[in-house]
Structure formats: C-alpha cells, structure tokens
C-alpha cells in the first residue's frame, strides 16, 4: 500500500470514530413524531383543542386516565371526556387552550389516526373534523378551517421550504468543494472544474434528497445517523470518478482520492459551522 493510501485510510478511521463519538446516546430523549394543527376561522373566540384517537391508548396516553392538575383546565377536560365521540374513538386527556396561538401541537407520541376536535367554552359548542386524519410524516402539519359546524382539514407541510433548503445545501457544498479544488489543490483547468461541478451536482443532490427523506419519514435523528455512511458513500463515489476521469498530471500530488477526501471534509466542517448559526436549510 502506498503512503498516500495509508494516510487516507487512517484519516477515514479518525473521521468515522470522531463522528461516532460525537453522537450522544441516552434512552428516550431523541425526537418523537409530532402533529401540529393550525386553526382557521376561530379568531376572536376562546377554544380548546384535542385529538380523538382510534385506539384506547398508546405509550403514556390512555382513555382511562383520570383528571390531574398538570393536565390544565379541568372544565375543558370534563367537556372532552363527556363528548360523545364516534364509536371506536377516544379522548386521551391531551388538550390545550389554543386561543392565543391558533395552533395545537401534540409533540409526544400523538395518535396515528385521529379526529381534530375543538371545544368553545363560551357557547359549549364542539367542532370536529369532517373525516379522520392520519399522520403522513414524522412531523405532520395540518390546517383545520371551520366549515359550517366542522373542520375541513388539509396537509400544510412546508414542501417548498424543504426543497429550497435541499437546493441551498447542495449549491453551497458544490461551491465549497469547487473553491477548495481551485485554492488548495490547484485544480483550475476548465476540464477539471467542469468535471468537479458535474460530479458534485449529482452526488450532493442525491445526498441531500436522501437526508430530506430520512428526516421527513423518520425524523432528524435518523437523518443525522444516516449522514455518516451517506457522506462516506459520496466520498467513495466522487473519488472513484476523479481517479478515472479527472485530468491530473501523471505522478503529481495530491492524488484525486486525496482531493475527494479533503474537499468533503472541508464542506462538512463548513456546513457544520454554518448550521450552528441557524442558517435556514442547514
């Protein structure tokens, strides 16, 4: 094995070990699925909101729970508990006063299928979604709009924002790795830069799409865990292409594989630093 291959192998081991040790491990502290409902048509009125589940209980929730002070307004709990829900649907004692926020969030083990139910204490009126609703993502977002005596419900996940974030991350990575090639590795010929741009456009779009799908369906923790093997796969794919096709004077240093490793390490560090500043999409 040549010296540069030995150096590359050692560097990869250090990176993998460092990233693995940086991930905290603890029981039941990771992100949990959530449901967020934006309410429309109840402005200026006082109201409480809950979700009726199609099971008697799950996780910490149960239809058999009695009222406790930590639950909040007792009158609201009694109203929801006395509500004549459709057969097979249950109140799990989770509810909130949404008068000020116009938004109901169930962030810890919400039901998979549910009705959205609001209670207006001033009139004693109940407003329920027309049909059952089902979670569709790790963080499912809905808009419930008053329509007569019920809610019309629509999904309201920010797909445009997610797509913009994906494209922003991919574009930033392409720019960083191209700049690294230009400034640090002397890759300034037109053919070199064109290949780097083409390869990075493919790998970074694929990487960020995979991460977005992981976060969408299984949450940010899985996306964080998947990032390490996916980033290594990107390094391997880019290195293989550069070693075969990147114009490089015979016998010169650094080698294309070293450029792939260095460029990916630099873009990873830059993205991590920018994410700490809350840059949208990172």
Q: Rounded to 5 degrees, what are φ and ψ at 268?
A: -65, -50
Nearby residues of 152 by Cβ (< 8 Å), 6 or more positions away: 129, 130, 144, 145
Tokens of 238: 């880019």
Model pLDDT for residues 163-181, shown as the tens digit of each residue: 998 999 899 999 999 999 9
Q: What is the pLDDT of residue 171?
A: 92
Question: What residue ranges define each of the domains in the chain, with the CATH number in brackets?
Answer: 34-155 (2.60.40), 159-275 (no CATH)
Confidence (pLDDT) at 4: 46
Most confident residue range from 4-13, 22-31, 110-119, 264-273: 110-119
pLDDT at residue number 253:
63
Residue 26: predicted pLDDT: 39
Kindly tell me the burial class for residue 75, based on how many C-beta atoms sit within 10 Å of its own C-beta (0-12, 13-18, 19 or more).
exposed
Between helix 256-275 and helix 3-22 the angle, nearest 10°, is 20
First to last CA, the chain: 38
Q: Does residue 115 register a pLDDT over 80? A: yes
This prediction's pTM: 0.76
Token digits of residue 253: 């240093």
Please tell me the predicted confidence (pLDDT) of residue 252.
63
Angle of helix 220-245 relative to helix 190-218, nearest 10 degrees?
Answer: 160
Q: Are 203 and 169 in contact (CB under 8 A)?
A: no
């Amino acid at each position: 094995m040549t010296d540069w291959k030995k150096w590359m192998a050692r560097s990869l081991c250090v990176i993998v070990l460092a990233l693995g040790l940086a991930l905290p491990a603890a029981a039941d502290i990771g992100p949990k699925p959530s449901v967020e409902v934006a309410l429309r048509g109840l402005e200026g009125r006082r109201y409480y909101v809950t979700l009726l589940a199609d099971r008697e209980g799950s996780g910490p929730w149960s239809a058999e729970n009695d009222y406790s002070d930590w639950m909040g307004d007792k009158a609201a709990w009694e109203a929801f508990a006395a509500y004549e829900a459709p057969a097979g649907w249950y109140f799990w004692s989770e509810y909130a006063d949404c008068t000020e926020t116009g938004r109901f969030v169930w962030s810890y083990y919400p039901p998979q299928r549910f009705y959205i139910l609001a209670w207006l204490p001033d009139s004693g009126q109940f407003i329920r979604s027309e049909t059952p609703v089902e979670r569709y993502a790790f963080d499912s977002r809905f808009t419930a709009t008053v329509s007569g005596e019920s809610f019309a419900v629509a999904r309201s996940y920010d797909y445009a924002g997610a797509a913009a974030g994906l494209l922003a991350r991919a574009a930033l990575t392409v720019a960083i790795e191209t700049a690294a090639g230009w400034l640090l590795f002397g890759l300034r010929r037109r053919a070199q830069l064109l290949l780097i741009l083409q390869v990075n456009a493919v790998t970074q779009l694929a990487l960020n799409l995979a991460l977005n799908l992981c976060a969408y369906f299984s949450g940010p923790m899985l996306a964080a865990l998947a990032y390490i093997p996916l980033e290594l796969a990107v390094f391997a794919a880019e290195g293989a292409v550069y070693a075969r096709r990147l114009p490089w004077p015979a016998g010169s240093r650094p080698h294309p594989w070293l450029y792939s490793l260095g460029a990916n390490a630099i873009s990873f560090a830059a993205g991590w630093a920018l994410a700490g500043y809350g840059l949208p999409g990172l």
